[in-house]
Amino acid sequence: MIGFIGLDVGSVSTNIVFLDDEGKVRESVYLRTNGRPIPAVQKGLRQISRLVPLRTVIRGVGATGSGRHLAGIIAGADVIKNEITSHATASSRLVPGVRTVLEIGGQDSKIIVLRDGIVADFAMNTVCAAGTGSFLDQQAARLNVKIEDFGGLSLKASSPVRIAGRCAVFAESDMIHKQQMGYDLPDILAGLCEALVRNYLNNVGKGKDISGPVVFQGGVAANLGMRSAFERALNKEIIVPPNYDVMGAVGAAMLARDYVSRGAPTGFKGFGAAETDFHAGSFECDGCPNCCEVVELSENGAVIARWGDRCGKWSNNVSREKIS
Amino acid sequence: MKVTFPHMGNLWICLDAMLQYLGIETVVPPPSSKKTLNLGSKHSPEFACMPLKLNLGNFMEASERGADTIVMAGGCGPCRFGYYAQVEHIILEDLGYKYSLVVMEPPEKHISELLSRIRYITGNKPWMEVIRGIKFGYRKARAVDRLEMAAMRKRPLEKRAGQTDTALTEALSIIAGSAYGKLDDAIARASEIMDQIPVDRKPVLKIGLVGEIYTLLEPFANLDIERKLGRLGVEVDRSIYLSEWVNDHLFMGLIKGLRSSSLYIKSSAPYMRHFVGGHGQETLGAAVYYNKKGYDGIIQVLPFTCMPEIVAQSILPGFSRDTGMPVMTLIVDEQTGESGYLTRLEAFVDLLAEKGARKEELA
């Protein structure tokens, strides 16, 4: 059989999916990036290679996420695409007719407005990280609640407490205050979800036309409390698709499938890339006052890619970075 | 007297030419860099916008090179910038720097006000000389703008990535280095360099950049947005060019035939009929203008906490709904991490490309 691979290397998690010939998600791997994207990609490739059926030919690879360029070069990706387009592609194909995508990941959150299957508008969080998964993670740790239990517990709330959601720092002190006052744990958790949703809608969703069907995806969509807080705030049904936590990777794989379907051969380096010795280093160029920090990636000692220079003096020397 | 001034894109080329023509020694600060920002933000009020922090950093770095007099623009209206020259001066004094300050403010009534401020620096130079110096500087500004416009047109079409920027750097240094009387020759050589960039013929997307002047003109502040978009295959235009701004605000429209902010003021009417400070009204007017000109999308750039642009930002979604024109707002501050920024630009370009493809399918 033939299939496609999608890589999504984010700040918190690295996700790898395997799609079959028809574009159905067959396997997925979810790993923590732990700030070391190269080993994470290699580990993920190793794990997915064990899940892929025997005698499978990988016909295309797509990479996305903030580490997409690195991942793309390591795996030999055919398509290197930004997260917004990847997420939009996945949800518009898996949930036909979707008009709004709410996506909350570890470090960032975004809203994508689709009309007739194409992106019409989008926004990402800018200066503040209050409306993201990391914030929920931290508060759960502070309350001694496992993040997996967070959502279920919050649904037991009878009257969610009001927590200031405008700023993560204010929210935290507000929450501690409410704890000290003796409020019930589920009420506090539900209050946190509501604060986060309020923050998201006021910041990321500001001025956007949020109409249904609404899809909620990203790691935070696992949180039942967040789903119901969105439902209450928007007064709309919220759809959480089956592969909500790996949608970026799914979208990247779909885009790779589109790309090679036009007859292009794949650049996939094979699962052996997991065993190759990759090394990333950096240096400061002293060619002009810009002092660019140039990143250099080498494979078995030979430089295969450089980026980070403004003028192209270093990156052009190797190969032109593929942005398609 | 050694005169310095803040950086704002290639403003230095024009100021340096004008002052040097008049026999005044100048100190051009090193280009704005992370070091400039670190120096500036360490000593600035936290809530001030990035331009103030970079200005301050520029002055501190220029002082290391011996500058003792600051020439700084002022302004009027509700934008805080009008007061930055004074605030920066006080901060520098508190830090022990010995600087004297000359504020070039848009004349309130007559161009003579501007001339008298210039007098402070030029001393007893005959007026004709002063005017010639200003004209020399202005012509350089115009030449620089033309080169930048050419670069924005060529970047998406260049055969090899980076060729346009190599040519632009060379062309700009020819203009910067040309002496009075040799400028025509320099302009001809510089534009020839730009003409010789090998390009492909292909359709490109067009994006209009609107927003706050400093962040539009200073590549360090906007994380090199023109170059990034160019490499993504986009032809860019921006609503503000230095020479047009100088003509509007310092010469009070003396030179005819240039695109002027009064055009934006007129076209902003359906969305904003009042001056809201800074370039808020121009931002909306320029959005309307680019829509009429058939651009594919609009990006608004502003420094974090910029009030006039926040007002414009809140009205832009309404404009976008009415016209179907995609608009994205980018807020810049001290962050220098580029990956999130590039993600937004790429996604916006994808959006425009898909929208364009869909239109063709339906047509």
Structural domain boundaries, residue A262: 2-87+248-274
Between the alpha carbon of residue A282 and those of residues A233, A240, A293, the distances in Å are 46, 41, 7
Q: Is residue A304 part of a domain?
A: yes
- Alpha carbon distance A15, A8 (integer Å): 5
Listed in order, strand segments (DSSP E) in chain A are 2-9, 13-20, 25-32, 57-64, 79-80, 100-104, 109-115, 118-124, 214-217, 238-239, 278-284, 293-299, 302-307
Between the alpha carbon of residue B238 and those of residues A314, B25, B70, B139, B148, the distances in Å are 29, 32, 28, 20, 10
Q: How far is B352 from chain A (nearest CA, A)?
A: 9
CATH number of A263's domain: 3.30.420.40
Instruction: Tell me how long chain B is.
Output: 363
Q: Do B161 and A316 touch (CB under 8 A)?
A: yes
Q: What is the pLDDT of residue A52?
A: 85
Q: How far is B346 from chain A (nearest CA, A)?
A: 6
**A107 near B CB under 8 A:** no
Same domain, A119 and A169: yes
B317 vs A contacts (CB less than 8 Å): 207-208
Residue of A9, A118, A128 to mutate, testing the B interface (most B Cβ within 10 Å of its Cβ): A118
- Alpha carbon distance A1, A56 (integer Å): 5
B358 vs A contacts (CB less than 8 Å): 116, 118
The type of residue at A124 is: M
Count how many pairs of residues, chain A against chain B, have C-beta atoms within 8 Å. 79
Q: How far is B63 from chain A (nearest CA, A)?
A: 18
Q: How far is A258 from chain B (nearest CA, A)?
A: 14
Q: What is the pLDDT of residue B8?
A: 94
Q: What is the pLDDT of residue B78?
A: 63
Q: Do A82 and B350 touch (CB under 8 A)?
A: yes
Q: Is residue A178 part of a domain?
A: yes
B321 vs A contacts (CB less than 8 Å): 209
Q: Which two tokens stand for residue B342?
A: 């590039």
Same domain, A283 and A262: no
A310 vs B contacts (CB less than 8 Å): 165, 224, 227
Q: Report how many domains make up chain A.
A: 3
- Alpha carbon distance B264, B208 (integer Å): 13
Q: Do A289 and B304 touch (CB under 8 A)?
A: no
CATH topology of domain B2-125: Rossmann fold (3.40.50)
Angle (nearest 5°) at CA A317 between A315 and A318: 75
Q: Do B161 and A81 touch (CB under 8 A)?
A: no
Between the alpha carbon of residue B281 and those of residues B261, B266, B323, the distances in Å are 10, 10, 18
Angle (nearest 5°) at CA B255 between B272 and B258: 55
Q: Do A289 and B30 touch (CB under 8 A)?
A: yes
**A291 near B CB under 8 A:** yes
Q: What is the DSSP letter of B158?
A: B
Residue at which a domain ends, from A210, A238, A266: A238
Same domain, A114 and A230: yes
Instruction: Find all residues with CB under 8 Å of A202, minimum gap 6, and list them.
Output: A166
Same domain, A111 and A174: yes
Average pLDDT for consecutive 10-residue bins of chain A (324 residues)?
A: 91 89 89 86 90 86 90 90 93 92 87 90 74 82 86 89 78 84 90 89 86 91 92 93 92 92 84 83 80 82 79 66 40
Q: Is residue A39 part of a domain?
A: yes
CATH architecture under which domain B204-362 falls:
3-Layer(aba) Sandwich (3.40)
Same domain, A132 and A160: yes
- Alpha carbon distance B276, B282 (integer Å): 10
Q: Which residue in chain B has the smallest CA separation from A65?
A: B343
First to last CA, chain B: 65
Instruction: Find all residues with CB under 8 Å of A273, minimum gap 6, and list them.
Output: A42, A45, A74, A75, A76
Q: What is the pLDDT of residue A323?
A: 39
Same domain, A260 and A202: no
Q: Which two tokens stand for residue A156?
A: 């037991």
Same domain, A234 and A103: yes
- Alpha carbon distance B117, B114 (integer Å): 5
Q: How far is B33 from chain A (nearest CA, A)?
A: 7
Between the alpha carbon of residue B72 and those of residues A59, A69, B2, B76, B219, the distances in Å are 60, 42, 14, 14, 19
Q: What is the pLDDT of residue A318?
A: 66
Same domain, A233 and A269: no
Q: What is the pLDDT of residue B336?
A: 63
How many other C-beta atoms can be found within 10 angstroms of the C-beta atom of residue A132? Answer: 26
pLDDT tens for each residue of B272-297: 888 888 889 999 999 999 999 999 99
Q: Is residue A323 part of a domain?
A: no
Those residues of chain B that have pLDDT short of 50 are none
